[in-house]
Structure 1
Amino acid sequence: MPPAEVLRYTAFSTDPDGGNPAGVVLDASGLDDAAMQAIAAEVDYAETAFVTGVGPDGAVAIKYFSPIAEVPFCGHATVATAVALAERGRTDAAGGIRFATPVGPIRLSTGRDADGVHAAFTSVEPSVAELADADLAAILGLLGLDEADLDPALPPRLSNAGNPHPVLAVADPERFDGFDFDPDAVRALMDDRGWPATITVLHRLGADRFAARNLFPVGRITEDPATGSAAAAVGGYLRALGAVRPPARILIEQGAHVGRPGLLVVDVPATGGIVVSGHAVPIDA
């Protein structure tokens, strides 16, 4: 069997040098998990998405691997894969796609505008819970922050819209921009707690605009440039807190701290899944 073709896209940007890179394998039907894991490690992006088949109902089966492990869901690789499929005419007449993911069915829409092809996914129903005091203390300690640095209007929570994400909001922009961390210590904490994706740190820029830093030490990566699953979790978090009035649209700026700025558009309905959208463009290998 010939080697799998790996496409490279960046999501949540129209600039190949911005957003979050993802590997995309549109035909992984002949690959087992070990082969997919090996490809993801070689690609060495935060995640690589693998289309493993198409069901009789037309749903596209997809799996996600970071360089070190399978990930239940990955928003930026979902957007990248949807754009790659749309560019190849593999959508329905309305530009829709249905993904069958490890966390459940995900609906997508695609379209084209002056900036290129864009995609939007609707997450699974979010759940939001208290963040344990010990977990909060551990995160703050690793970031060199304390509870006085947090935004009192946006208390810490554990929000899940496909992956569990601890969500913290830092009030002061200098503290938000300036915190640092030991990637190995953060990875050890995430592994111990069973958090497969990112720790999300927010700073509110305005009523409907946030900056985000997403800690994700894996391979050569320490911070994720643009995190679709975390954006969905943030939408669920804000709705649960009553910090937005649905239906609401918020914008999340992410990636500037690692030199790959991107923009995630998050639509928060009154009920149901959160809609996350953005562009994706190919990266020259």
Structure 2
Amino acid sequence: MDIQELLCFGVAPGGGNAALVVQRDRSGVEQRQVFAREQNRPACVFVDVVDDGGIVLDYFYPHTRSPLCLHATLAAARVLLSPQRPELVVHTAMRGQPLTLILQDGEVFVQLTRQAAPDVVITPELPGLLLAAPGIQLASPPVIASVGSPKLLLEVANTTILQALTPDLPLINEWSTQHGVSGCYAWSRRDDGALEGRNLNHLDPAAEDGATGVAAGALTVHLQTGITLYQGANVGTPCLLRTERRGESILIGGKTEFA
């Protein structure tokens, strides 16, 4: 087993969301989950080479296996790509989703496409219940969007409200499990034209994610434009995610460095 730790989407050198890239591992799903829990990093990605030579990425958070984790995918891209191999198509382990990894001008990107999102009725009172903010007035209608891990997107009026949220995490977990959604992503528009967001899908508030690439992708799908997205300052991991549209595809990238 070869293990490398990388930091992804950091605003400053030495910062960002950590991910472990594990190669040459032959353990099963249960053993990988134990490993991820013991390492206690935001994400681990296992790089498997299948019989036809293709590469499959298998994602684990400390608490669960995931169909897709984009910051871990960026970490894997940094390990797997080189000037001699600047582009590589891989597939995800749980759903077989194709992802194109791209090395461009020294930076790595993940190219992917919009995925089907669950058709869920969102009642008027649901956002207030999930955010533990009864009567909250959202800045736009809630929507579920996906690039491989569906998110309930909730736009609040401003970043002050966003950072003050104390959501009902057990209820979010229960609702998400029931409807096949990967938690809520609360977000707001900033005065500088960028966006700011918080990923609300862990039962432990201390485990709130510093950067959520699948949410950046979901927002890009929803808004139909490339975005600049800040996240993680409130948990001590300030991150910056950038996306762009390329035809029907979405590119997601950010700084990635070896820890």
Q: What is the TM-score with the length of structure 2 in the denominator?
A: 0.88
Is the Cα–Cα contact under 8 Å of residues 117 and 150 in structure 2 kept in the other structure? no
The residue number in structure 1 matching 2:5 is 8
- Letter matched to residue 165 of structure 1: K
Separation in 1 of the partners of 2:114 and 2:178? 25
CA distance change for structure 1 residues 69 and 128 in 2, over 3 Å: closer, same or farther?
closer
The residue number in structure 2 matching 1:262 is 239
* 1:232 is aligned to 2:225: no
Is the Cα–Cα contact under 8 Å of residues 49 and 64 in structure 1 kept in the other structure? yes
CA distance change for structure 1 residues 268 and 198 in 2, over 3 Å: closer, same or farther?
farther
Separation in 1 of the partners of 2:135 and 2:121? 13
From 170, 176, 186, give the equivalent of 2:162.
176
* 1:44 is aligned to 2:32: no
- Letter matched to residue 166 of structure 1: L
Summarize deviations over 1:65-121 as a string: whole Å, max 9, x none: 1122211011010001111223xx4xx7351121111331100102454xxxx3111
* 1:133 is aligned to 2:129: no
* 1:143 is aligned to 2:138: no
CA distance change for structure 1 residues 209 and 32 in 2, over 3 Å: closer, same or farther?
same
Is the Cα–Cα contact under 8 Å of residues 209 and 232 in structure 2 kept in the other structure? yes
The residue number in structure 2 matching 1:21 is 18
- Letter matched to residue 7 of structure 1: Q
Query: Share of identical aligned residues, percent?
Result: 25
Separation in 2 of the partners of 1:132 and 1:32? 37
Summarize deviations over 1:224-270 as a string: whole Å, max 9, x none: 1101111111110112xxxx4xxxx310001111110011011024x
Separation in 2 of the partners of 1:200 and 1:123? 20
Is the Cα–Cα contact under 8 Å of residues 16 and 282 in structure 1 kept in the other structure? no
Q: Which runs of 5+ in 2 are unaligned?
A: none
From 120, 127, 130, give the equivalent of 2:109.
120
From 243, 248, 251, give the equivalent of 1:275.
251
- Cα deviation for residue 139 of structure 1 reads 3.8
Alignment of structure 1 residues 101-250 onto 2, 5 Å? 101=92, 102-103=94-95, 104-111=97-104, 113=106, 118-127=107-116, 132-134=121-123, 137-146=125-134, 148-151=136-139, 154-195=140-181, 197-205=182-190, 208-217=193-202, 221-239=206-224, 244=225, 249-250=226-227
CA distance change for structure 1 residues 70 and 183 in 2, over 3 Å: closer, same or farther?
same
- Letter matched to residue 44 of structure 1: N
Summarize deviations over 1:141-174 as a string: whole Å, max 9, x none: 23233565211xx321010110111001011332
Separation in 2 of the partners of 1:18 and 1:182? 29
- The Cα RMSD (Å) is 2.5
The residue number in structure 2 matching 1:80 is 75
Secondary structure of 1:121's aligned partner: strand
Separation in 1 of the partners of 2:197 and 2:113? 21
Separation in 1 of the partners of 2:43 and 2:21? 9
CA distance change for structure 1 residues 194 and 32 in 2, over 3 Å: closer, same or farther?
same
CA distance change for structure 1 residues 76 and 224 in 2, over 3 Å: closer, same or farther?
same
Question: Size of the alignment, in residue pairs?
Answer: 257
The residue number in structure 2 matching 1:99 is 90
- Cα deviation for residue 191 of structure 1 reads 2.5
